[in-house]
Chain A
Amino acid sequence: MSKTKHTLLNQMKLELDSHSVNESFARAAVAAFAAQLDPTVEELTEIKTAVSEAVTNCIVHGYPACCGKITIWAGIYHGGQFRVWVKDRGVGIADIAQARQPLFTTLSEERAGLGFAVMESFMDRIKVRSKPGGGTTVTLEKEIRGRAQ
Chain B
Amino acid sequence: MPVELRYEKCCLTALLSGEIDHHSAAFLRGEIDAALARLHPPLLCLDFDGVTFMDSSAVGLVMGRYKYLRGFDGALEVVNLSPAAYRMMRLSNLQSLAKLAQKQPEKREKVQP
Residues of A within 8 A of B (CB): 20-21, 23-24, 27-28, 31-32, 41-42, 44-46, 48-49, 52-53, 56, 59-60, 102-103, 110-115, 117-118, 121-122
Contact = CB atoms under 8 A, between A and B. Distances in A.
B91 A102 contact: yes
Interface of B: 19, 21-23, 25, 29, 53-57, 59-61, 63-64, 82-84, 87-88, 91-92, 111-113
A114 B22 contact: no
A41 B88 CA distance: 17
Nearest to B54: A49
A53 B112 contact: no
A141 B78 CA distance: 31
Given A20-B22, A52-B21, A121 B87 contact: yes
Contacts of B23: 20-21, 23-24
Given A42-B83, A110-B64, A118 B112 contact: no
Q: Per DSSP, are chain B's interface residues mostly helix, strand or loop, or mixed?
A: helix
Given A24-B19, A24-B21, A56 B91 contact: no
A79 to B, nearest CB: 25
B84 to A, nearest CB: 5
B84 A49 contact: yes
Given A45-B82, A122-B84, 18 more contacts: A23-B23, A24-B23, A28-B113, A32-B113, A41-B111, A44-B112, A49-B88, A53-B56, A56-B21, A56-B57, A60-B22, A103-B92, A112-B56, A112-B59, A112-B60, A112-B92, A114-B59, A121-B91
A45 B22 contact: no
Given A114-B88, A118-B55, A23 B83 contact: no
A66 to B, nearest CB: 17
Contact of A110 (B61, B87, B112, B113): B61
B22 A23 contact: yes
B68 to A, nearest CB: 10
A61 B78 CA distance: 28
A41 B113 CA distance: 9
